[in-house]
Amino acid sequence: MSTPLEKRLNDYPRIELTRTPTPLQYLPNLSDSLNLKIYVKRDDLTDLALGGDKARKLEYEIAEAKAHGCDTLVTCGSAQSNLARLTTAAARKCGMEVSVVLSKDDYTQLQGNLLTVVLMGATIKIVETEDHWDLEEHALALCDDLTEQGRRPHYIPVSGTTPLSCLGYVRGGLEIVNQMKEAQLNFNHIYTPFGTGGIFTALLYTFRHSHLESAFHGISVNRLRSQCVENLETWWEALARLLDGDMPVPQEGHQIYDQFIGKEYGDPTDSCLEAISVMAKREGILLDPVYSGKMFSGFLDHHRNDCFNSGDHILLLHSGGVPALFAYQNALKDYLQTDLKEYM
């Protein structure tokens, strides 16, 4: 039987772009070594163009674009943007054109996500900005140019987070809740990356509406905690309007951390590279250096600081982004130099 939240969610059109549910996978080796019960939600295994969380968001965003007769998707991000990759793939899947505005940074080599965007034939504009959040003005100007050319563009902001796209992770949250019921699981702690905050907010919203009190931990990848809290409030209020919910933002049971960012967004910190290496060697799962690697580095830091009880059940959200690993080969090579001695 559908819950009220599920019924309200089904009122919004979506275009199916990927296969779900994704696995909720137990990590036996990591669990044994850390004396915890650790699971990972494998949203790196959504099957649209090498996977990732954006596919869930785009299902609602593109449905909205189609409803308004749009024929071109426009988005922006860093040179190794996961959103650029998945927006390009979604556009091709839906028979639409696509243009992306990317920042000129240290990772513009034809590798990783950028290579896939080129392969799928997106129109690419690379601009110099001090902050990739400043790309929006360039993307909106491109929308104006496309409109003058007779196109009907639909703009998707950095990270793909809008009120509608947040519905993708309400659906994703309900998917996790159902998997927990089937496996008779209850998580003490849930870790997610925190970029613009759409995923964190939508999952927290869904769990609280499902009367589940797992503690949520958001690991910021780009912004200070105060800015993240503002985003949480913004997206929570937007979801409440869309889903007719009247529950205020909870003041307890969740935390956001900004000490794992490094120098800037996308900075491959030593703790992030260590986290990527630990997960790869213990479980054969690849994390990315921008989102899931930072999330896991935060979790490992909390474990070192005795933040858990023995046997606690932990859920880690793997949001994808693995293609970016290949663009970070120099940082990884430096970090892994001891392991690589026999090859050098």
CA dist 318 and 235 (Å) reads 21
Identify whether the C-beta of residue 43 lies closer than 8 Å to the C-beta of residue 67: no
- Please identify which residue in the block is written with the tokens 């392991």: 339
- Please identify which residue in the block is written with the tokens 């993708």: 168
Catalytic residues: 81
Name the helix (H) or strand (E) containing 99: strand 97-103
- Please identify which residue in the block is written with the tokens 């129109």: 123
CA dist 218 and 264 (Å) reads 17
- Please identify which residue in the block is written with the tokens 């690991």: 219
> What's the gap between Cα 331 and its chain centre?
22
**What secondary structure does DSSP assign to 142-200, as a single string?**
HHHHHHHTT--EEEE-GGG--HHHHHHHHHHHHHHHHHHHHHT---SEEEEEESSSHHH
Identify whether the C-beta of residue 205 lies closer than 8 Å to the C-beta of residue 245: yes
Buried b (16+ CB within 10 A) or exposed e, 92-118: bbbebbbbbbbbebebeeebbbbbbbe
Instruction: Compute the C-alpha angle 275/232/289, nearest 5°.
Output: 20
